[in-house]
Amino acid sequence: MWLALLLCLGLPSSGGLRLPVNFWLLSRSGEAPPPHDVQLCNRCCQNIDDGDAAALAANLAALESCAVAVELGPEEGGAPPPPPRVVELRPGELAEQLCARGPRAFQLPRRGHPLEIGEAPFDEGGLGHSVWDASIGLAVWLTRHAEAVRGARVLELGSGVGLGGVAAAAAGAARVTLSEVTLSEMTRSEGTRSEMTRSEGTRSEGTVTKEARSEGPLGEGGADFGGERLLRELEANVRRNGLEAVARVVELNWEDCLSPEYEPECTYPVVIGSDLVHDEVYSLRSLAAAVSAFTEVGGTAYLMSTRGRPGVERLPLALSSLGEVEEEEMTLFNSYGKAELVLTTLRRRA
Binding-site ranges for ligand SAM (CB under 6 A) = 126-128, 131-132, 134-135, 158-160, 164, 180-181, 225-226, 252-255, 274-276, 282, 286
Choice between 294 and 333, CB closer to ligand SAM: 294
| Cα-based distances in Å from 314 to 272, 283, 320, 344 | 18, 12, 10, 11
Query: Shortest gap between Cβ of 272 and ligand SAM (angstroms)?
Result: 9
- Considering the complex, state which of residue 37 and residue 255 has its C-beta at the smaller distance from ligand SAM: 255
Q: How many residues does the chain have?
A: 350
Kindly state the smallest distance separating residue 33's Cβ from ligand SAM, in Å.
21
Instruction: Decide: 46 and 3 in contact? Cβ < 8 Å.
Output: no
Q: Which is nearer to ligand SAM, 253 or 331 (CB)?
A: 253
Smallest gap, in angstroms, from Cβ of residue 128 to ligand SAM? 2
- Which of 21, 155, 171 lies closest to 101 in space, CA to CA? 21
Q: How far is the CB of 187 from ligand SAM (least distance, A)?
A: 12
Q: Is the dihedral of CA 182, 184, 187, 193 positive or negative?
A: negative
User: Minimal distance in Å, beta carbon 224 to ligand SAM?
Assistant: 8
Which CB sits closer to ligand SAM, 143 or 274?
274
Nearer to ligand SAM, 24 or 254 (CB): 254
Nearest residue to ligand SAM by CB is 128
Sign of the alpha-carbon torsion through 78, 25, 272, 228: negative
CA–CA separation, 176 vs 174, rounded Å? Answer: 7
- Decide if 158 contacts 132 (C-beta within 8 A): no
CA separation for the pair 208, 182 (Å, rounded): 9
Q: How far apart are CA 137 and CA 274, in angstroms?
A: 9
Choice between 217 and 269, CB closer to ligand SAM:
217
Rounded to the nearest 10°, the torsion over CA 87, 92, 95, 97 is -60
| CB 227 to ligand SAM: min, Å | 8
Cβ nearer to ligand SAM, comparing 20 with 160: 160
Contact 319/293 with Cβ under 8 angstroms?
A: no
Within 100-227, where are the H helices? 122-125, 133-144, 163-170, 183-189, 193-195, 210-214
Query: What's the closest the beta carbon of residue 306 comes to ligand SAM, in angstroms?
Result: 8
Query: Would you give the distance in Å from CA 226 to the centre of its chain?
Result: 14
User: Taking the complex as a whole, how short is the minimal distance between the CB of residue 152 and ligand SAM, in angstroms?
Assistant: 19
| DSSP code per residue over 153-179 | EEEESS-TT-HHHHHHHHTT-SEEEEE
Name the residue nearer to ligand SAM (CB basis): 184 or 253: 253
Q: Minimal distance in Å, beta carbon 253 to ligand SAM?
A: 4
Contact status, residue 70 vs residue 62, Cβ threshold 8 Å: no
The smaller minimum CB distance to ligand SAM, of residues 13 and 344, is found at 344
